[in-house]
Amino acid sequence: MDIARSIQSIDFLTAFSESVLAYPIVLSIHLACIALFGGMILATDLRLLGLTFKSLSITDVVTSLRPWKRIGGTIMIAMGLLLAASEAEKYAPNPFFWTKMIILGLIGVHALVFRPIVYSKTEELDRSPIIPTKAKVAAILSLCLWTAMFVMGRLIAYWD
Amino acid sequence: MLLQNAVGDALNNTEWAFALAECVHIGGFAVGVGSIALVDFRMLNLGLRYESTGRILKYTELWTVIALLFVVFSGVALFLSQTDVYRVNPIFPLKMYVLAAALLYNFTIHRKVAKMENPPPLLSRLVASVSLLLWVAVVFGGIFTGFLV
């Protein structure tokens, strides 16, 4: 709790959470990222499952969307950190917030596990007559983890 | 009038119903607006550049329609659960106007230009930018509605 209090007491963050407009603006940007970049995650996952964009190779879909997903993810995380740091005392005991952070960690693990065998091996996936199971597992896990992210995110406000 | 209604009662009497409606709302716009964003990015010559805008529209249009239906239905349910609150909220009507504009725009001008064989690049970029701006404005409207409750 002391750590939380000292985080949110940093001048800049205090000013931030006291500003009537700053917090909702940052939250809006955070959600706008879902709107703008969520479709890219969906497109990648559905392509890995072989359900859509079939005229495009997996390589094309993954590589062309990758830089935008990274940009979107960076903005999203930056905004999220700002939100959490400015309300550190409120978020510190919130189980929904910590569950969301754990899921974010799992998303990181997902990347570590599947990048070497799926995401950087898209040519191999394209050459295969049917899409290998590992790619489909990666896609389904990705969809589940990201859905859990926004559900937990929404539930943060319900804890009191 | 609408103060007491069946949908509102359902959302207010079951603890998780309101939260569920909100999650459907968010998931809906993630897919609905996200699929529109894929087309918009392509019209800006970004993202899925290995395919034509028309093809990308073809792949995504059903997702867009179905997801936006979920957004609208969940939105109506949320509204009905607190009509008195929303009706005096200064931002909510603005959100609705922008939403109406975004929907209308998406299924008229945007659709037309997205399907064009060889649109002037400037036109594509303009149409896509307006689309993205409108939808981002709706998201902002949603958050600010909540902050003024």
SS (H, E, C) B78-132: HHHHCHHHHHCCCCHHHHHHHHHHHHHHHHHHHHHHHHCCCCCHHHHHHHHHHHH
pLDDT greater than 90 at residue A125? yes
Place of tokens 């199971």: A133
Asked if the Cβ–Cβ distance from B34 to A36 is below 8 Å, we say yes
Residue with tokens 């239905």: B73
Interface contact flag, A53 B144, Cβ < 8 Å: no
Q: Residue A145's domain spans which residues?
A: 2-158
Our CA-based measurement puts residue B132 at a distance from the nearest CA of chain A, in whole angstroms, of 8
What is the tens place of the pLDDT at every residue in A75-105?
999 999 999 998 888 899 999 999 999 999 9
**Number of domains observed in the structure of chain A:** 1
Q: pLDDT, tens digit, for every residue of B69-111?
A: 999 999 999 999 989 999 999 999 999 999 999 999 999 999 9
Contact B30 A53 (CB under 8 A): no
Interface pTM (ipTM) of the complex?
0.92
- Residue whose entry in the numeric block shows the structure tokens 């349910």: B77
Question: What pLDDT, on a 0 to 100 scale, did the predictor assign at position B1?
Answer: 58
Distance, CA of A19 to CA of A73 (rounded, Å): 25
Can you give the pTM of this predicted structure? 0.93
